Amino acid sequence: MNLQISIDLSLKYWTDSWKDQSIVCEWHRSEVNEDLLRHEKLLDTGRIFVPLCGKSVDLKYLAEKGHEVVGLEFSEKACDNFFQENGLQFTKTKLADFAFFQYEAKELKITIFQGDMFDANKSLLGSFDAIWDRGSFVAINESDRPKYAKILGNVLKATGKVLLNSFTYDNREYGGHPRTADKETIEKVFGVRFKVTLIDSYDSLKPIYKARGITKRVACNYILTMQ
């Protein structure tokens, strides 16, 4: 087996990856995420949070559908690129009470907070009708998962839903990122406050993952509701 050393996904790692564009090649898509398109009808209309959003075109898509969209991203380059590449005029403000910059589109209801996800709270973000986790949970370090789940639980309205996109594979074959997270893992992390429901799964073993020694990789989508 091709056992890999697990990567510590530090903030410096993400910043450097955006600078050398390596993260863009693997994570960023130029089209709207197909899992979002397939399941967006399950999300409540209104205010949607997209944690660790990068420069995802999903933000613009959701805003054009009438949602108020709030992203959170650590990389300043990713935030700048989102607005520039989508031709959106914006303001950028250093917040006085939080260690964040706030980007705000002028034409659409899109706000991105640029800073450390784990410094965010409800006072900064507000509350949400839905959360679109586009591979965010599997992107962070496993040790950070409980903190991440707590933040999502604090900002989601009691009637809200989380659409969570995850992946499973044998971590004896590969220990890098995105991390593997099966239903049992997700229930262990989120189960105190959320009911976890698997809504679909499909084969997602692409050449880039075969090259890392992975022999089976399954994408899974879950709906999380408050309980």
Is it the case that residue 8 has pLDDT exceeding 50? no
Is 2 within a domain? no
Give the pLDDT score at 209: 82
In the numeric block, the tokens 């893992």 are attached to 185
Give 111-132 pLDDT, tens digit per residue: 999 999 999 999 999 999 999 9
Q: Evaluate if residue 136 carries a pLDDT over 70.
A: yes
Number of domains in the chain: 1
In a domain, 4, yes or no: no
Query: How is residue 69 written in tokens?
Result: 């969209």
> Is residue 106 domain-resident?
yes
Q: Residue holding tokens 């507000």?
A: 126
pLDDT digits (tens, 9 = 90+) for 151-193: 999 999 999 999 999 999 998 888 777 789 999 999 999 988 9
Of 29-43, 92-106, 172-186, the least confident: 172-186
Residue 205 lies in a domain: yes
Does the residue 49 lie in any domain? Answer: yes
pLDDT at 56 over 70: yes
Domain of 161 in residue numbering reads as 11-226
Q: Is residue 1 part of a domain?
A: no
DSSP 144: G
d(CA 61, CA 177): 26
The yes-or-no verdict on residue 16 having pLDDT over 70 is no
* Whole-structure pTM value: 0.89
Provide the CB-side half-sphere exposure for 14 (13 A, CA): 25
CATH number at residue 88: 3.40.50.150
Exposure on the CB side of residue 61, measured as CA atoms within 13 A = 16
Question: From CA 69, how far away is CA 48, in angstroms rounded?
Answer: 5
Does residue 53 lie within any of the structural domains?
yes
Residue 199 lies in a domain: yes
